[in-house]
Amino acid sequence: MGALTIIKPSNKGESIDLNYALVEQFLIEFLREEVTRVKGFNKIVLGLSGGVDSAVVAALGVKAFGAQNVIAIRMPHKMSSPSSLSDAVIVAEKLGIKLETIDITNMVEGYAQQVPGMSNRRKGNVMARARMIVGFDMAEALGALHLGTGNKTERLFGYYTWHDIADTGPVSPLGDLLKTQVWGLAKHLELPEVVISKAPSADLEANQTDESDLGITYARADVIIHHYLKAYSDHYIESLGFTKDEIELVKRKINATHWKRALPIHAMVSSTAIHEFYLRPVDFRL
Amino acid sequence: MQPRVFQVGILQLKPSKGKRAQNLEHLKTVMQELLSAGEKPDVLVLPEGALTGYFLQGGVRELAVTRDQLFEELEDLWREVWDAPLDVVIGFFERSDNDYYNSGMYAQLGGEHAGIKHVHRKVFLPTYGVFDEERYQSRGAGFEAFDTRFGKSAIVICEDAWHTITTTICALKGAEVIYIPSASPVRNLEGEEPSNVRYWHNLVSGIAAEHGVFVVLSSLPGFEGGKGLMGASALFHPRGHIVARAAILEEAVLISNIYLDEIQPARYENPLLSDLRAGLPGMIVSLEEALKWVR
């Protein structure tokens, strides 16, 4: 008799890796539907920050609408990292898209001069919202639609400025992809290595990185998020190799920021309150 | 004796949300294109919410129609473009007195016995996750098999089919062809195809093979508010394999013969339905016992 064959799979939890070719197909079709067929636009505008999220959206835009119909805008402030600007150029050249530069320093500083003592945090928020103004205005000027670039991890962590350029795009292809999945898609799309491998940063303050702000790496946070959202217990997630502190940190961030993922709150005084009693889907038209 | 064969045309068409008139026009155009291409299926099968879209929320109130109204609309359309009797299976939101249902109609348009052959009201209304059906629609009650020009048939709608007891009932009542209008939003993109496409095809393949029936899955394609509906309609053979299938997400028309005479050899080889009939009395006792767990 031969040696006994024992098959004993180890528990690694659910994989968060995706079939990125399928994701690409899905998101291209999504963009064509929502931008063109539903909203009637053939052109898109997006803020190209030099980071991976906007680079992926730009690449998907090129596949959906053609390079000539994707307009990328760099929006530097004098405090912005020079590498953000040069990385945006690398992405635009790789994709063959038009890259405009609109410096927001005067917008931001013009306001800042009127309110002395502005903290870095406040100024970062003003920068993010100044970019939102540019995004909408350039979309209007160019007859294009401004796309959102936010990913699921930052949405769940509330790690963005409410109503910034990434948050306000009427169509947002990455909002259900975790950050590590955005990286996976970026690799599949063969985006420049420099935007995939650099430390993610909102670049709203000097030497800022996402992972130091958040206190956990995306690689670890995303696995916890995935299992937490799918109703796995803390005990189960711990068994996958995560600490109680890490799990608590992720849950705390998610549960402190539900408001940020919702529309503004309206006082309900009737039995026909919009989104409470009167419910129609976003694409409902008679 | 004539072979028992007919041709089914699965119309995986994407409706514009809420635009019933426009969607009827689209259906008419597709029927005209079929005729121009020399195709003239005997039975056209459309998905769930075929003329309205699926995710309507409270918009069911504005878009639901009576079964008679839908039949008249289809008959008018048929009269304009088709020149022979035609059977249609279609998912629609039904208004009946003061209630709303997610229903599926089997109708014969034209011919000596024209009329509504059956309307099934969806029993299992998904009300979890992205779904919210029971908030807006009432449940149907039960499953029937009914006679058509093309074999004894049954309709189950979308989640109805995920409870395989439903198709078991249809098969026990004599259904040879089970039609499933459905609408399933794509999710979980880790595999070769979205996980719900794999699940649907595995599930329906099992239904077809277990009962020795043809199953026609007509599944809504396209996007509704960011949710991509899977499409991937398919015809399943009584031996369990897929005879033909459509791509995901996009519109498609799938035409195939259904040889009802292939049911008998499939059931001869795997007489599971016959076995089930024999064992049914004992199963009923077990089911009644299981009711104790329904609180």
Task: Provide DSSP, chain A.
Answer: --PPP--------------HHHHHHHHHHHHIIIIIIIT--S-EEEE--SSHHHHHHHHHHHHHH-GGGEEEEE---TTS-HHHHHHHHHHHHHHT-EEEE---HHHHHHHHTTSSS--HHHHHHHHHHHHHHHHHHHHHHHT-EEBP---HHHHHHT-S-TT-HHHH-SB-TTTTS-HHHHHHHHHHTT--HHHHHSPP---SSTT--HHHHHTS-HHHHHHHHHHHHTT--HHHHHHTT--HHHHHHHHHHHHT-GGGGSPPP----STT-BTTTB---TT---
**DSSP single-letter state for residue B260:** G
CA distance B71 to chain A (A): 22
- In this complex, the residue of A19, A33, A285 whose CB is nearest that of residue B191 is A19
Rounded to whole angstroms, the Cα distance separating A73 from A53 reads 14
B21: pLDDT strictly greater than 80: yes
- What is residue A203's predicted lDDT score, i.e. its pLDDT? 77
Does A6 contact chain B (CB < 8 Å)?
A: no
Quickly count: other Cβ atoms within 10 Å of residue A147's Cβ.
Answer: 28
Name the burial class of residue A156, with classes exposed (0-12), middle (13-18) and buried (19+) by CB atoms within 10 angstroms of its CB: buried
Domains of chain A: 20-205 (3.40.50.620)
Q: Which contiguous run of DSSP H or E holds residue B196?
A: helix B195-211
Q: Which residue of B189, B195, B198 is the best one to mutate when testing the A interface, meaning the one whose CB has the most A CBs within 10 A? A: B189
Show the tokens assigned to B281.
Answer: 């009395």
Prediction pTM value:
0.93
> Which band of pLDDT confidence, cut at 50, 70 and 90, is reported for residue B294?
confident
Rounded to whole angstroms, the Cα distance separating A214 from A192 reads 25
Interface contact flag, A279 B189, Cβ < 8 Å: no
Q: Which residues of A touch B53 (CB under 8 A)?
A: 283
B294 CB contacts (<8 Å, ≥6 apart)?
none
Does A22 contact chain B (CB < 8 Å)?
A: yes
Domain boundaries, chain B: 5-291
Distance from the Cα of residue B17 to its chain's centroid: 20
Residue A74 main-chain phi, psi, to 5 deg = -90, 135
**DSSP single-letter state for residue B143:** -
Q: In what order do the strands lie in the sheet with B115-121?
A: B115-121, B99-109, B86-96, B43-45, B5-12, B252-259
Rounded to whole angstroms, the Cα distance separating A60 from A91 reads 13
Interface contact flag, A29 B249, Cβ < 8 Å: yes
Per CATH, the homologous superfamily of domain B5-291 is Carbon-nitrogen hydrolase (3.60.110.10)
- In this complex, the residue of A30, A34, A281 whose CB is nearest that of residue B56 is A281
Residue of A nearest to B222 (CA): A33
CA distance A198 to chain B (A): 25
Does A12 contact chain B (CB < 8 Å)?
A: no
A29: pLDDT strictly greater than 70: yes
**Greater pLDDT, A203 or B248:** B248
Interface contact flag, A283 B224, Cβ < 8 Å: yes
A166: pLDDT strictly greater than 90: no
As a whole number, mean pLDDT of residues B197-217 equals: 98
A47: pLDDT strictly greater than 90: yes
Show the tokens assigned to B212.
Answer: 């020795």
Rounded to whole angstroms, the Cα distance separating A94 from A191 reads 8
Percent of chain B at pLDDT above 70?
A: 100
The predicted-structure confidence for A70-120, as pLDDT tens digits, reads as follows: 999 999 999 888 888 999 999 999 999 999 999 999 999 999 999 999 999
**Is residue A101 a contact partner of residue A73, using CB atoms and an 8 Å limit?**
yes
Rounded to whole angstroms, the Cα distance separating B147 from B154 reads 9
**Strand runs (DSSP E) across chain B, as ranges?**
5-12, 43-45, 86-96, 99-109, 115-121, 145-148, 151-155, 177-182, 214-219, 221-224, 227-230, 234-236, 242-245, 252-259
Percent of chain A at pLDDT above 70?
A: 100
Q: Which residue of A23, A29, A38, A226 is the best one to mutate when testing the B interface, meaning the one whose CB has the most B CBs within 10 A? A: A29
Does A231 contact chain B (CB < 8 Å)?
A: no
Does A15 contact chain B (CB < 8 Å)?
A: yes
- In this complex, the residue of B58, B186, B250 whose CB is nearest that of residue A280 is B58
Show the tokens assigned to B282.
Answer: 């004992």
Helix (H, G, I), strand (E, B) or coil at B171: helix
Rounded to whole angstroms, the Cα distance separating A65 from A219 reads 32
Mean of all residue pLDDT scores within chain B? 96
Mean of all residue pLDDT scores within chain A? 94
**Is residue A58 a contact partner of residue A91, using CB atoms and an 8 Å limit?**
yes
Q: With CA atoms as reference, report the closest residue to A58 among A13, A4, A112, A99.
A: A99
- In this complex, the residue of A19, A26, A285 whose CB is nearest that of residue B17 is A285
Say how many CB pairs under 8 Å bridge A and B: 65
Show the tokens assigned to A5.
Answer: 């064959």
Percent of chain A at pLDDT above 90?
A: 85
Residue of A nearest to B230 (CA): A26
DSSP A83-96: HHHHHHHHHHHHHT
Residue of A nearest to B248 (CA): A26
A2: pLDDT strictly greater than 80: no
Does A29 contact chain B (CB < 8 Å)?
A: yes
B246: pLDDT strictly greater than 70: yes
Residues in chain A: 286
Q: Which residues of A touch B21 (CB under 8 A)?
A: none
**Is residue A174 a contact partner of residue A53, using CB atoms and an 8 Å limit?**
yes
As a whole number, mean pLDDT of residues B135-144 equals: 96
Residue window 34-53, chain A: list those with CB within 8 Å of chain B.
34, 38
The predicted-structure confidence for B66-114, as pLDDT tens digits, reads as follows: 999 999 999 999 999 999 999 999 999 999 989 999 999 999 999 999 9
Q: Which residues of A touch B194 (CB under 8 A)?
A: 22, 26
Does A238 contact chain B (CB < 8 Å)?
A: no
Q: Which residue of B14, B17, B62 is the best one to mutate when testing the A interface, meaning the one whose CB has the most A CBs within 10 A? A: B17
- What is residue A1's predicted lDDT score, i.e. its pLDDT? 61
Q: Which residues of B touch A222 (CB under 8 A)?
A: none
A201: pLDDT strictly greater than 90: no
As a whole number, mean pLDDT of residues A121-125 equals: 94
Phi-psi map region of A241: left, alpha, beta (phi>0 left; psi -120 to 50 alpha): left
Q: Which residue of A15, A31, A33 is the best one to mutate when testing the B interface, meaning the one whose CB has the most B CBs within 10 A? A: A33
Residue of A nearest to B63 (CA): A286
- What is residue A216's predicted lDDT score, i.e. its pLDDT? 95
Interface contact flag, B190 A286, Cβ < 8 Å: no
B283: pLDDT strictly greater than 80: yes
> Which band of pLDDT confidence, cut at 50, 70 and 90, is reported for residue A3?
confident
As a whole number, mean pLDDT of residues A260-278 equals: 92
Q: Which residues of A touch B58 (CB under 8 A)?
A: 278-280
Q: Which residue of A28, A283, A285 is the best one to mutate when testing the B interface, meaning the one whose CB has the most B CBs within 10 A? A: A283
**Is residue B28 a contact partner of residue B67, using CB atoms and an 8 Å limit?**
no
Rounded to whole angstroms, the Cα distance separating B193 from B170 reads 29
B12: pLDDT strictly greater than 80: yes
- In this complex, the residue of A30, A279, A283 whose CB is nearest that of residue B17 is A283
